[in-house]
Structure 1
Amino acid sequence: MDERKGDYMDFLDFLKQRRSYRQYTGEPVEKELLDRIVEAGLLAPSGRNIKPEELIVVTDPKLLTQLSQCRKAGSQMLEGAGACIIVLGDEDKTDVWVEDCSNVILTMHYMASSLGLGSCWIQGRNRVSSTEDSTEDYIRNIFHFPKNLRLEALLSVGHIDQTLPAKEVTEELLNKVHTPKY
């Protein structure tokens, strides 16, 4: 039996309580908290440890408002967020940049939640902006990143003034598990 059990939250309980938040208080997110979120993302697993990710951390309210239009729908929460982390992958480094960047985003999503912040994954790859450009081109026009860097997603981050109820594994979810064959 692990004697440390009482010192930390059970990971399954953490996952049940972790939620995606789309409404924020508008308060800035402290640099120390953002640094911890970014550090967690940089520690995410990567195929052959190639690490194709590049991150752009945005805290300027004007840029956040501009980013809130990076998709036709589903990005408006950025206007009230305290920060946004744009996750790009270098397609010249590896053919699994999408998977590697997804690990980065998910790890940062978990870290934000562990710090008591709300966050939400905003898919960017293969999406269209409010200006009918691709979301990637819309963001590239603002931040001027090179063509070999491809947009995977954005993570909105902010302070929350409410918590959503915990989730449970339902019968419907359990029916997705097949043993030993489909």
Structure 2
Amino acid sequence: MLCEKCGQHEATVKFVQIENNNKTELRLCQDCAQGYTNFSTGFDLQHLLSSMFQTGKIGQKLSPSQPMKKCPTCGRTILDVQKTGRLGCSSCYEVFHDELNPVLRRLHGSSTHTGKVPARGYPKVRVNRQIEDLRKRLQECVRQENYEQAAKYRDELRLLEAKVAGGDGE
């Protein structure tokens, strides 16, 4: 699909805005997306990320004797990430894992991304995600002392785990 702004390059970025139950989508190429600011977010994401970093480990001052963590792939330091709110490359996620985890948990409620799985062709992935979700629900029910619901989740979890162990992930 071509960029909806310039019409010349392949669209690689998709903006989605939902306002008053109206969904607006825009597909742009990388160049057009860089300068696109027509979607109002209501807050400055860069400022939000910077302030969240400052409340955790990243906001702590480093002594001169402490070496600064640096990504070997792109050369970004944790201070660069704090200032811009952006990582330089995919390796940054691993290099700055300890600093990013608390921020991602506060921002998203989890430090792992769970995206959509195609309906066909990935039954084991879907079942494994269901198992992971049930485990979280089970833990939450036990934490809240809702033992009846926890027992239901436990039973459902056992069925799914048996299904996976039996090789019947479809």
Range of TM-score over shorter length: under 0.3
Structure showing greater relative contact order (alpha-carbon pairs closer than 8 Å, 6 or more residues apart): 1
Whichever structure has more strand as a proportion of its residues is 1
Q: If the length of structure 1 is used for normalisation, what is the TM-score?
A: 0.22
Larger of the two Rg values belongs to structure: 2
Question: Which structure has the highest helix share of the two?
Answer: 2
